[in-house]
Amino acid sequence: MSQDLLNTYVIGFDRAIRETVEVKGGKLRPYVQLATGDLFRKEGVYQRTTGGGLPQKVTNRFGDSPVSELDYSRRRTSRQAFQDGQFMDWADLSKMGTDPRNAKLNAMKNKFMRQEDIILDQAFLGTANTTDVETSASTQAFRDNEAVSVDANADNNYDFTYKKFLSVLEKFGNNNVDIDSQAPVFKISWVQWKQMMEDDNFINFDYTANRPLDRSAGAIYDYMGAKFCISNIVPFINRTGAEIETLEASYSSTSTTLQAYFEIADTDLASTGAWQSASTDSTRACYAFMPDAALLEINPDMTTKVSERADKGFNYYAYMKAELGAVRMEEEKVVVIPCSNS
């Protein structure tokens, strides 16, 4: 067999990357809006419009035309470029170009899919870049009042409880978030999955239909109109449950005290690609969100390349690069759920 690089392998490598990383994405991809098509803006600026109330009552057949003033701001994504590459021999290349399940190929793909989820965590819980027409603000922080109580009952040890689940739905409702036509999504870790499996309020649901809550390992049926995303990439809050309980006394509609303890910086990432905490007794920053609470942007499309490297003995080198960015569009559609990590 010729040692020349076969075009078939190059095409197969590119297709395997695009059909998984670019099209399928990470664990959060099915639940968020992707800024493509009609949503896509070349400058990475997206308009957030809010407003409500009632239409104006007509009291005069020839009265003045009504004008409805809507507050709006322009949310901006900050894209970052990420790249990865691997050397390979001829056998590796032929496998990576023909088998989408190849171990080396999966290692490369998983890095980017983890990174996508991390970018979304930072967007949901971080400070959004914005240009607010009404207030001229350039950023919008995550507000403390968009977090539910840590729930300090002695019998639950700050776990993910049924009470917290209902509190999230209540908060969405009080924020005038439409949870009738869209399903809220709860992002939780495996610790919270275990806590749910031990809670009779969850596992007794729908016994009459002979359908247990747990569908399979790591999957949960839709529950009371909500969906669940279980991941080992869930950020931390660098405070204990008791310390967060103390902070709750000062929560207001504008305070951002809790966000100061979110561990969502790049320096808070472990080498394995998961969030880590500087403290051994931190709290998980689980959160619930609506599908249109954030926008994910991938621009330009993912780049792949396979070529020989003259500086490495003319061995083949597989390369991939992507630019990812995300921004929170509406603070009212994201609710943090502080939970114990044990």
- The pLDDT value recorded for residue 235 is 96
On whether the CB atoms of residues 287 and 337 are closer than 8 A, the answer is: yes
Same domain (yes/no): 30, 124? yes
Same domain (yes/no): 177, 280? yes
Q: Is 25 exposed, middle or buried (0-12, 13-18, 19+ CB in 10 A)?
A: buried
Same domain (yes/no): 94, 194? no
How many distinct structural domains can be found in the chain? 2
Same domain (yes/no): 238, 121? no
Same domain (yes/no): 195, 255? yes
Same domain (yes/no): 244, 303? no
On whether the CB atoms of residues 207 and 93 are closer than 8 A, the answer is: no
Q: Evaluate whether residue 247 is within a structural domain.
A: yes
Q: Provide the domain limits for residue 217.
A: 146-293+333-339
| Cα separation, 242 vs 158, whole angstroms | 9
- The pLDDT value recorded for residue 131 is 66
Average pLDDT taken over every residue of the chain:
81
Same domain (yes/no): 277, 172? yes
Closest CA to 324 of 111, 82, 125, 46: 82
Same domain (yes/no): 26, 88? yes
Q: pLDDT tens digits for 255-276?
A: 888 999 999 999 999 988 899 9
- The pLDDT value recorded for residue 221 is 63
- The pLDDT value recorded for residue 2 is 46
| DSSP of 76-126 | E---EEEEEEEEE-HHHHHHHHH-TT-HHHHHHHHHHHHHHHHHHHHHHHS
| Cα separation, 112 vs 17, whole angstroms | 10
Q: Evaluate whether residue 66 is within a structural domain.
A: no
Same domain (yes/no): 26, 84? yes
Torsion (CA) 228, 185, 273, 26 in degrees, nearest 10 = 90
Same domain (yes/no): 251, 231? yes
Task: For the chain, list residues with pLDDT below 70.
Answer: 1-6, 36-45, 47-53, 67-73, 131-137, 152-155, 205-221, 300
